[in-house]
Amino acid sequence: GAVVSQHPSWVICKSGTSVKIECRSLDFQATTMFWYRQFPKQSLMLMATSNEGSKATYEQGVEKDKFLINHASLTLSTLTVTSAHPEDSSFYICSARDLVRGTAKNIQYFGAGTRLSVL
């Protein structure tokens, strides 16, 4: 099956620093990747849609200057949390849609997530 790799799986950083999270589709190409955030005991909330070669589309209430997204290739999207603060601590999950097999039914394959803790 399709595999999406997310790195790092866990990161602790000091308040004010920036953190970059990578999302890679390992065995398929993905023109579209999605970034979600999940707080403890809550569901996933879509943050932004990452499109290869173009600007990301952010959901209402998500600061684009705070959460920088770059989708430079068909297999890699990155999310950078800039000047992180404790309230940014969360579980960040990416997903990728298979260009060939996923388009019709919007089948997305999820990464294992990145737990961010900002001190």
Partner 1 sequence: TQLLEQSPQFLSIQEGENLTVYCNSSSVFSSLQWYRQEPGEGPVLLVTVVTGGEVKKLKRLTFQFGDARKDSSLHITAAQPGDTGLYLCAGVRGGGADGLTFGKGTHLIIQP
Q: To the nearest whole angstrom, how small is the minimum distance from the Cβ of residue 43 to partner 1?
A: 4
Q: Which residues contact 7 (CB under 8 A, 6 or more apart)?
A: 21, 22, 24, 114
Phi first, then psi: give them for residue 31, nearest 5 degrees: -75, -25
Query: Can you tell me the distance from the alpha carbon of 116 to that of 27, in angstroms, rounded to the nearest whole number?
Result: 26
109 binds partner 1 (CB under 8 A): yes
112 binds partner 1 (CB under 8 A): yes
Q: To the nearest whole angstrom, how small is the minimum distance from the Cβ of residue 8 to partner 1?
A: 13
Among positions 11, 20, 49, 70, the unique one binding partner 1 when judged by CB under 8 A: 49
Among positions 17, 18, 42, 117, the unique one binding partner 1 when judged by CB under 8 A: 42
- Residue 51 burial by CB count (10 A; 0-12/13-18/19+): exposed, middle or buried? middle
Q: Is 73 helix (H, G, I), strand (E, B) or coil?
A: strand
Q: Is 102 helix (H, G, I), strand (E, B) or coil?
A: coil
- Residues from 2 through 21 that contact partner 1 (CB under 8 A): 4, 6
Q: To the nearest whole angstrom, how small is the minimum distance from the Cβ of residue 16 to partner 1?
A: 26
Query: Can you tell me the distance from the alpha carbon of 116 to that of 66, in angstroms, rounded to the nearest whole number?
Result: 15
67 binds partner 1 (CB under 8 A): no
Residues that bind partner 1 (CB under 8 A): 4, 6, 32, 34, 36, 42-46, 49, 59, 91, 93, 95, 103-113, 115
